[in-house]
Amino acid sequence: MEARIRGLFNALLVGSPYLAFLSQTAALLLAISLPVRFAVAISTQARVYYFP
């Protein structure tokens, strides 16, 4: 039982940097994609309203 707990703890120690990297990458992609989507929406609306 103790060996199983120690194995789980080792797996968490090994996997936590990978999970942190995944979450950082997801947050970075979200932070990049939101302003891009916003700018695209603004530019398409400007094209529709001001450049017929």
Q: Tell whether the model's pLDDT for residue 37 goes beyond 80.
A: yes
Pull the structure tokens for residue 20: 């942190």
pLDDT at position 29 is: 92
Residue 51: strand, helix, or coil: coil
Buried b (16+ CB within 10 A) or exposed e, 3-17: eeeeeeeeeeeeeee
pLDDT > 60? residue 52 = no
Tokens of 29: 């992609």
pLDDT in tens, 9-31: 888 778 788 888 888 999 999 89
Mean pLDDT of the chain: 83
Rounded CA-CA distance 38/30 in Å is 12
pTM exceeding 0.85: no
What is the token pair recorded at 12? 């968490």
Domains of the chain: which residue ranges? 21-52
